Structure 1
């Protein structure tokens, strides 16, 4: 079967859950995804470590497994430790295309002498919309794969093999269509942690159509949007920052920036360059732009969107994210009780640390019930440290 005959990943992709085993502070945990999820919990409990797993998975097809691990501080830093003993990490991602059966990708690593690592096992199974199941397994440096119909009939590629370079991921060597599909799935996740200073400064022109996580190429990305997308983004920003009615790219020699047009008095409008806008405005604009970028991710992770954004604007931003999450799933890490109240209790995942191990769970039923009865809000529970997780 040629690649042109295969079904392609599409807007029907949904992420279901992320399983972490012996990864950083997690001994064993599962993060369940919905359209919009908020990770809440005190500092140093493990929220950023869950995000680190998503970053690692995304970077494997882009940069290769060795670079993705090096960016997390090296293999030895990834391993969970209990009583001083390091354990071998594993990550599994469950997802689905449309109404098909669940698909998955799993990566297991193990340490070897000299604080190095090797891929113990890497496997995936993708149920495509074309009625085919694409499977692969990488173990002991060899990749095998097969394709079959939903009824189990083998189509082609029985026990074909390919050598994988030591320490590398099969996803970086897309020899089969199943591996290619997993690579596309991993690339469709993105994390952003906006730095308003990088958004406001003069930027180098960028040929990429992909949003940089810190917002350092906002001018170039905005310029690639269609007129309809630009108009929608401006309207959304105007709901957060009243008076904004136009945004344009400006060139200064070999640099670019954005100009924001805002009505300051009745009938009077003024142009403000990005560096003149508040940090909260630049952060809100960049988050919205990440949602509208041409290579729109199927899963967007936003770290602490509340920083520098005032309360009224924050609630509006979250409302917009909720609307946009119908097209792209969203994960937020936050300490904001106001965000939690805007989202509702079903969207909350509590992260806590117990005995040196990070854990993730939905809100416990005894915390949900008073919220349902209108006796208290999720944000008030969070402030009073009473937003308890469901028992494992």
Structure 2
């Protein structure tokens, strides 16, 4: 029996595929600083659990396929606090932001169609595209520019008549870049000229530092071509709750997305009730405190990485990721080596090779992504171990 080319062509997660090496290192007694996965270590707000406790039915039933109406109303109020006007009918609650991306791609592109993506990009975009038999057309951002949005000419090179949309995240996972008004406008203007959709992944919009403002896709005109993707996983430390949002002012898009939503029946009910309690009762300064905590962590990583001779990077201004080009020949082999052959007093580090965040073959081979999801003291220690590992690795 043969397996499908679809599954055979799908890559393993670059974030998780080196886990067996980490498991072996842990069994050998090594302590590992895990900086590879964007799993926040901050506590989930108590209001989420209190919302679940208030659930009164003795049956865990299917919700509406678009999500509880009360939750969509709460999301509508949340977006209005960002000056983004979505009514509940323009929102579909999804099973995580991942499902929102899959639904978006499947709605605007047929098998064989293509979607422009700014690389490096959230690695699962590639997996989702392969699942749907959609090809990604990369436009490369460079570490030397802080992974800024490429020029219009680069978008033109990537375009052909099979392209149906552009997808990007802002702030960026994996680079931490925060796109300013002119950068987002460059994307919007190009999409308008080519009459294609824009899918904006705004999962990290609360994570902006140094006075940088998040520029939403919804700040621009021509909203019928926009699809916004969101998730509560990061901002509320709710990764396992699996609640996301797909939103659009385009009524036809929302009507058609509902077919997919109905096919998977409903998003998880208990998580919806927990989130409803959270959105209605969250302490007003929670997000401010969280933003400060992650900026402090960013600063710690930046100071330590600045001491690595030959590293190429700019200070990231958002998300909780730090992408850097290292003075090593192959970052994936280097990471494996750190787990199998290197430690300082029984401690080592696990980061993500950035090559898996590219669609261009052999791109990003020297780059890594650091997820600063530990406290600042542990981050400093992990980065110092990383620095020593680079020196030792290059002397082999």
Decide: shared fold, TM above 0.5.
Answer: no
- Greater relative contact order (Cα 8 A, min sep 6): structure 1 or 2? 2
Which TM-score applies when normalising by structure 2? Answer: 0.28
Q: TM-score by structure 1 length? A: 0.29
Say which structure is richer in helix: 2
